[in-house]
Structure 1
Amino acid sequence: MGKRLIYLIGILLTIIIGTYFSYILCCNSESHNENVMTNENTTQKKVYKNPTLYPFNVKDANGDFLLNTNDNFNFEASNLNFLTPISSNLDIEINKLKDFLSVNNNKSLSITGYYTQEEENKSAYPNLGLARANSIKNFLNKKGIPSKVMNTLGELKEDMVADSLHVYHGPLVFSISELKDNPEEMDKLAEYIKAHAIELHFKSGQFEINLNEEQRQEIADIAKYLDKVDGAICIITGHTDNTGDVTTNITLGQNRANSVKEYLIKNAAIPENKIIATSKGESEPIADNNTEEGKAKNRRTIITIK
């Protein structure tokens, strides 16, 4: 075998061996990349939890009355108002509940609204669960169930899960118990509300409302009193400083009072017919209008009851 032939065979073997190892390395690299992508996809994939479903279940603790349907009131996340329309099945059960309570006037209905910590509380109440319960209470009142036989509560439910559209299904619990009429409690509540009237302050020409936690609880107290006492009314009075003329300030005070009224209707579910908004303008200052500090104190809106 000549040297030239041996040389050519060597070159051919080199090409064949190089091609083989190149193929092996390329395939292994692609396979590795696929595994990495699979692992990355697996890592990024979120664990899906089934939404929590609470049925409409109402039971008399001291009797045999029972309502139960899988349908219930549903709420979007961070919302105090339930989604409409409700199902026909739920509407039928609510009519049964109304009939039961109208015959058994010694019974009361408790409504507890659920909420999660991650939800934003846009309501005027201390928590979103209480706001939801009051929203349902107002709906049931329109269906014929008196407000005075209903009690509302809020409860944190951290394990509650919304669906993919961020809707909570039936975040409520209902129960029936004996009605406890306590006029002395309402008298004490009225005294407290009047002694702790809510005072909101505004920047000149503005209407923005921001409640602190104490004021949110006071709103809850007012709503409770309005439910339990026949003829009770929430009074909102707008006041201004003396900037501008008298007529303009009467209008400004009224606009602020109207703004607070609309806020309570929307964010506290207080019925419109239980709120009166009025204005005193600049006529009742509580501080010196010759100073900016005094003017700021005079620009106020008072929320109380009568």
Structure 2
Amino acid sequence: MSKKTSYLLGIILTIILGTILYYFLCCSICCGQESCGHKKDETKSAVTPEIKDATRNAFMIKDANSDFNIKMNDNFNFKTSNFSILDPVSQDVDKGVLKLKDYLLANPSKDIEITGFYKSDEVNNSAYPNLGLARANSVKNYLVLHDIPSKQIDTYGKLNNDINPDVNSTLFGPLEFGILTTDASDASYMEALEKVCDAVRANPLVLHFKTGQAAINLSSEQRQKIADISHCVDKLGVKIQVVGHTDNTGDAANNVVLGLKRADFAKGYLTRNGILEGNIETSSKGQTEPIADNATDEGKAENRRTVITIN
């Protein structure tokens, strides 16, 4: 074979080998090109979220000390980052609530415990320390409206990241129920509760905001105080007192009206957060009870306040 022929064969073999390598290594050579199907598949798998089956908790209540037992496939449902019960509540759940009412009224030493669940990625827009407690209180109000005494209802909140919503962001029954038998001779619980309620009376919740404000941003301490106030109302039958105050700007009579508007706004905030309207009383002191010097802007800001306590 001549030298020229060998040279031509070498060129041909080089072209063939290069074509083969290009074909098999396309994605490493043409990465980022739309024609690269393998690259497309990699991108798809990287952004496709994991789809989890929605958790569906049944409405179950069982008393370990008796034969009382309720189990319904339906339950109270909620949207994620929300504490309002979704309508409609099923007829089966209402039948269970009626059965629970009859049982509790016949057994005053029994309490229903409601634990609301929440996920760590949910936004807590309630006035309570966590969204689970807010959901439990919504269910509590539903039971109270169906003639179950609030004194026989205990509410709690619990983090539970094992609950999953459906594709429409609905959480099906993010709750747990139990029956507690109380000991009438044990006064420790009521004594502890009285201390909590006395602490609220001595150091009430004070809010500073403008009338017409759309939302109230609460600290963790203030959220806990609202939870304590709600508990005192449920267990002791006390009323919430919401009193509006103003600075001394303007007419004294008009400031009484302004203070009442502030109290009514705070009342609306509490009712939107699951405290029954009938448990809240509003009034106004106007400019008559300042806590700071009205001669300064800072003092006036302190005097423009709404005080929330219990009687």
Please report the TM-score for the alignment, with normalisation by the length of structure 1.
0.87
Pairwise CA distance, 1:101: 1.2
Aligned match of 2:69: 66
Pairwise CA distance, 1:159: 2.1
Pairwise CA distance, 1:95: 1.2
Aligned match of 1:284: 289
1:148-191 CA-partner distances (Å, limit 9, x unpaired): 00100000012221111111110000000203454433432221
Query: Could you tell me how far apart the structure 2 residues matched to 1:165 and 1:126 are?
Result: 26
Aligned match of 2:130: 127
Do the aligned partners of residues 189 and 42 (structure 1) sit closer, same or farther apart at CA in structure 2, a change above 3 Å counting?
closer
**Kindly, what percent of the aligned residue pairs are identical?**
45
Is residue 94 of structure 1 aligned with residue 101 of structure 2? no
Q: Partner letter of residue 276 of structure 1?
A: E
Q: Partner letter of residue 143 of structure 1?
A: H
Contact persistence 1:149–1:179 (CA under 8 A) = no
SS in 1 for 2:250: coil
Query: Could you tell me how far apart the structure 1 residues matched to 2:212 and 2:300 are?
Result: 14
Q: Partner letter of residue 237 of structure 1?
A: V
Query: Could you tell me how far apart the structure 2 residues matched to 1:71 and 1:180 are?
Result: 32
Q: Which moved more, 1:38-47 or 1:75-84?
A: 38-47
Contact persistence 1:62–1:177 (CA under 8 A) = no
Aligned match of 1:195: 202
Q: Partner letter of residue 71 of structure 1?
A: D
Aligned match of 2:171: 168
The gaps in structure 1 that reach 5 residues or longer are 1-13
Q: Partner letter of residue 105 of structure 1?
A: P
Query: Could you tell me how far apart the structure 1 residues matched to 2:263 and 2:216 are?
Result: 11
| Equivalent runs, 1:99-114 vs 2, <5 Å | 99-114=102-117
Q: Which moved more, 1:57-66 or 1:129-138?
A: 57-66
Contact persistence 2:55–2:171 (CA under 8 A) = yes
Please report the TM-score for the alignment, with normalisation by the length of structure 2.
0.85
Do the aligned partners of residues 39 and 196 (structure 1) sit closer, same or farther apart at CA in structure 2, a change above 3 Å counting?
same
Query: Could you tell me how far apart the structure 1 residues matched to 2:143 and 2:250 are?
Result: 46
| Equivalent runs, 1:14-29 vs 2, <5 Å | none
RMSD: 2.5
Aligned match of 2:275: 270
Pairwise CA distance, 1:64: 1.8
Pairwise CA distance, 1:295: 0.8
Contact persistence 1:199–1:302 (CA under 8 A) = yes
Aligned match of 1:224: 231
Is residue 297 of structure 1 aligned with residue 309 of structure 2? no
Aligned match of 2:52: 49
Q: Alignment length, in residue pairs?
A: 286
